[in-house]
Structure 1
Amino acid sequence: MMKTQNEIIKQGYDALINSLGITDTIRFIQYFSSGKGDYTKERHQWLDKKTLVDVLQEIEKLSEEDTNQYDEIIE
């Protein structure tokens, strides 16, 4: 039997609450907040001014500078 989207969401929340508790579940969900604004429009304001070479150079520079860029502590 296929679950509805609402059933899946409820089951996911229940799993988080059972695993993390209510407070940490809220902190976890807030971490993935969708934010505000129009990302596509804002992206064009800065990305359209860059060449592919510029973007590639920035990626290479970031990877050299910060090898732990995805290590993050949620407080």
Structure 2
Amino acid sequence: MPKTQQEVIKQGYQALFNSLGVVDAIRFIQHFTPGQGDYTKERHEWLERTPLEDILTSMKQRQKDDAAQYEEIIE
């Protein structure tokens, strides 16, 4: 018999807790917490008041910054 969605979620959390421990499981879950707001509306507002040159500069800087993003150590 297939499991309910609630059963799968409960089993998934239990697997996380068993594998990582409570503290690290919570840290893992917090990493995927959804944001807030209306992204589409805010994006349009932001794009209307931000010069294209500033956006391109930001994109180039982000490329440099992203090169080291996976070197973060969490203690």
User: Structure 2 length normalisation: TM-score?
Assistant: 0.65
- Aligned partners of 1:65 and 1:31: how far apart in 2? 20
Return the structure number with greater helix share. 2
Q: Where does structure 1 lack aligned partners over 5 or more consecutive residues?
A: none
- Aligned partners of 1:47 and 1:3: how far apart in 2? 45
- Aligned partners of 1:3 and 1:31: how far apart in 2? 26
Query: Deviation at 1:14?
Result: 0.6
- Percentage of identical aligned residues: 59
Q: Where does structure 2 lack aligned partners over 5 or more consecutive residues?
A: none
Superposition RMSD in Å: 2.8
Partner of residue 5, structure 2: 5
Query: Deviation at 1:38?
Result: 2.2
How many residue pairs are counted as aligned between the two chains?
75
The residue identity in structure 1 corresponding to 2:72 is E
Partner of residue 62, structure 1: 62
Say which is worse superposed, 55-64 or 40-49, in terms of deviation. 55-64
User: Structure 1 length normalisation: TM-score?
Assistant: 0.65
Query: Aligned in 2, Cα 1:66/1:28: closer, same or farther, shift over 3 Å?
Result: closer
